[in-house]
Amino acid sequence: MRIILASASPRRLEILKKHGIEPLVLPQDTDEHLPDGVGMTEAVEALASQKARACYNAVKDDPKYDGYVIIGSDTIVWKDEIMGKPVDHDDAFRMLDKIRGTEHYVVTGVCLIDKSSGAESVLSDITTVHCVNYSDDDILDYIARVEPYDKAGSYAIQGYFGRYIDHIDGDYENVVGLPFYRIEQALEPYI
């Protein structure tokens, strides 16, 4: 399968490789600003489409990419608001404080574009994540690590923060950043 991953995320690359796909990695710079009041599913689907479309525009006239499918993706955490990557220490603390002892949603949008035809399909997946009731000191200890600063919602389930997850309802890989089982279904016509 010939895949272009329009993302610099090492986690998304790792998920694809785990499932036997060795993609070309061609992330593009895009404006990730969303209008106020947009819902969680609409947000990730719009951003995923934007990323995939930017990559498509960069390669569409180059025949060496014929036969490829482009995958763009975006993940957010939702707890009464969209939680992207924290801007600083205080923002990371605020997010982690908000999700402790409760549940929140991790939503990933995926856009697939057939480079040859320009046909685009967009999907999303939602996983409910239940956190234990950790302490302020636990949050401060976690924030002192490098891990929270490039993650939506300020945490990585597959990292140190995993100890604070009670359980999830849904797909684990979705929380990591790419719901492969949904992508696999969408890629069936290309196999």
Quote the pLDDT of residue 191. Answer: 65
Q: Any idea what the CATH number is for the domain that residue 86 is in?
A: 3.90.950.10
Q: pLDDT grade, residue 129 (50/70/90)? A: very high
**pLDDT exceeds 90 at position 53:** yes
Partners of residue 123 on adjacent β-strands? 110
Dist CA 48 CA 53 (whole Å): 8
pLDDT of residue 138: 96
DSSP 74: E
Residues above pLDDT 90, as percent of the chain = 84
Domain count, the chain: 1
Please state the separation of Cα 122 from the chain's center in Å. Answer: 14
Gap between the Cα atoms of 82 and 164, Å rounded: 20
Q: Is 74 a catalytic residue?
A: yes
Percent of the chain with pLDDT over 70: 99
pLDDT > 90? residue 149:
no
Tell me which of 29, 36, 74, 169 is the catalytic residue.
74
Residues 6+ apart with CB under 8 A from 131: 99, 100, 101, 102, 103, 104, 164, 165, 166
pLDDT at 150 over 90: no
The rounded mean pLDDT for the chain is 93
- Crossing angle for the helix pair 10-18 and 180-187, to the nearest 10 degrees: 60
Query: Is residue 150 a contact partner of residue 136, using CB atoms and an 8 Å limit?
Result: no
Q: Which domain holds residue 15?
A: 3-190
Return the exposure string of 74-89: e unless at least 16 CB atoms fall within 10 Å of the residue's CB, then b. Answer: bbbbbbeebbbbbeee
Model pLDDT for residues 57-84, shown as the tens digit of each residue? 999 999 999 999 999 999 999 999 999 8
pLDDT at site 146 = 72
Three-state DSSP state, 37: coil
pLDDT in tens, 22-36: 999 999 988 877 777
Stated pTM of the model: 0.92
Q: Which residues are CB-contacts of 109 (< 8 A; sequence separation ≥ 6)?
A: 41, 43, 44, 45, 46, 47, 48, 49, 73, 74, 75, 122, 123, 124
> Is the predicted pLDDT of residue 37 greater than 90, yes or no?
no
- When pLDDT is averaged across residues 52-58 and rounded to a whole number, the result is 97
Other C-beta atoms within 10 Å of 93: how many? 18
